[in-house]
């Protein structure tokens, strides 16, 4: 089933002329990108707008805060202005043009609105664009990817788009390879079904490394909705902007009975999946040094 979903999504993306970025922000890219919010295919010649635009790449896994830093580095607006525009999007954005945001509007306890909704692509942004202009361009890029065929697959998954993006963002932060993604997804899906907490470390890092620096007085509130050692099931919202491989995995997890996983933090980032805590803890005890590259004392 997973291969079928991947194949369908691949066909859809090729038909739309879209590819996700490879994480190299400063690479000179040719091919497909977003210009003024529209999908553009760049040939041998230069774009007519190239001289007056700035190429901005959103790598897979970037948070909204990190994107705001990138926008500031590119000379458009301050990080604070970008975040403020995203947080108040319902006040100035024509929501009728972005139906894929409907689930977000119904979500509760979300810290950073639009987190997870900026699809990783290379965008050409006109010089002088405001924070609101840039957000529209990013959302138009996402809209180009999240077409009717894609949304139908989301609906068939049994989850809404906000839930899929939330799950995909965690997969994005946990996985080191495409092979690991559907397996990690199976653990998350299985834990949801059994009522187990996710207990994933990236959600702690999101609380302390993303939420706290921006909203230090709100950490005690949001940690109950984003720290998966505290909250039940899915977080309140995505913890980054996931790429298509992670979204695919969230839509169609591998068919397993796994409830636990370990992924090494040093190359080659080995992974181990298990169905019982006994298997999980035994493997970790025997392989912790090798998986982390740190010799344990005692």
What is the token pair recorded at 297? 């004392």
Residue 135 makes CB contacts below 8 A (sequence gap 6+) with 82, 85, 86, 89, 93, 114
Q: Hunting for tokens 């998954």 — which residue is that?
A: 157
The model's pLDDT over 282-292, given as tens digits with 9 standing for 90+, comes to 999 999 888 88
Q: For residues 198 and 192, what is the distance between their CA atoms, to the nearest angstrom?
A: 8
Domain boundaries, the chain: 2-149, 259-298
pLDDT score of 25: 35
Please, which pLDDT band fits residue 41 given cuts at 50, 70 and 90?
Answer: very low
Q: What is the pLDDT of residue 40?
A: 53
> What is the distance between the terminal CA atoms of the chain, rounded to a whole angstrom?
46
Task: State residue 58's pLDDT score.
Answer: 98
Residue 185 has pLDDT above 50, yes or no: yes
Residues 91, 95: Cα–Cα separation, whole Å: 9
pLDDT at position 47 over 60: no
What mean pLDDT is predicted for residues 109-119? 98
Tokens at 216, concatenated: 């230090």
In this structure, of 28-37, 189-198, 286-295, the range with the lowest mean pLDDT score is 28-37
Q: Is the pLDDT of residue 33 over 70?
A: no
The predicted model gives 41-53 an average pLDDT of 53
With 0-12 CB in 10 A as exposed, 13-18 as middle and 19+ as buried, what is 63?
A: buried
């Amino acid at each position: 089933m997973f291969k079928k979903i991947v194949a369908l999504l691949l066909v859809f993306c090729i038909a739309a002329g879209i590819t996700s970025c490879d994480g190299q922000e400063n690479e000179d890219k040719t091919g497909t990108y977003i210009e003024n919010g529209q999908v553009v295919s760049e040939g041998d010649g230069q774009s007519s707008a190239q001289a007056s635009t700035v190429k901005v790449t959103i790598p897979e896994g970037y948070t909204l805060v990190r994107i705001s830093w990138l926008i500031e580095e590119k000379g458009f607006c301050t990080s604070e202005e970008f975040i403020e525009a995203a947080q108040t999007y319902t006040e100035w954005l024509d929501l009728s043009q972005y139906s894929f945001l409907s689930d977000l509007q119904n979500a509760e306890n979300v810290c950073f609105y639009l987190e997870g909704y900026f699809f990783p692509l290379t965008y050409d942004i006109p010089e002088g664009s405001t924070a609101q202009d840039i957000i529209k361009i990013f959302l138009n890029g996402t809209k180009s990817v999240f077409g009717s065929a894609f949304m139908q697959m989301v609906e068939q998954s049994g989850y809404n788009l906000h839930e899929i993006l939330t799950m995909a963002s965690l997969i994005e932060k946990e996985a080191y390879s495409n092979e690991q993604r559907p397996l990690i997804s199976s653990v998350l899906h299985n834990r949801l079904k059994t009522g187990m907490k996710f207990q994933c470390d990236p959600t702690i890092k999101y609380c302390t490394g993303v939420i706290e620096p921006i909203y230090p007085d709100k950490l005690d509130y949001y940690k109950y909705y984003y720290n998966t050692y505290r909250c039940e099931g899915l977080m309140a919202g995505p913890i980054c902007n996931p790429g298509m491989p992670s979204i695919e995995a969230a839509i169609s997890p591998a068919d397993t009975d796994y409830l636990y996983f370990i992924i090494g933090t040093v190359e080659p980032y080995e992974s181990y999946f298990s169905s019982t805590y006994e298997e999980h803890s035994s493997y970790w005890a025997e392989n912790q040094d090798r998986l982390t590259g740190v010799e344990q004392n005692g």
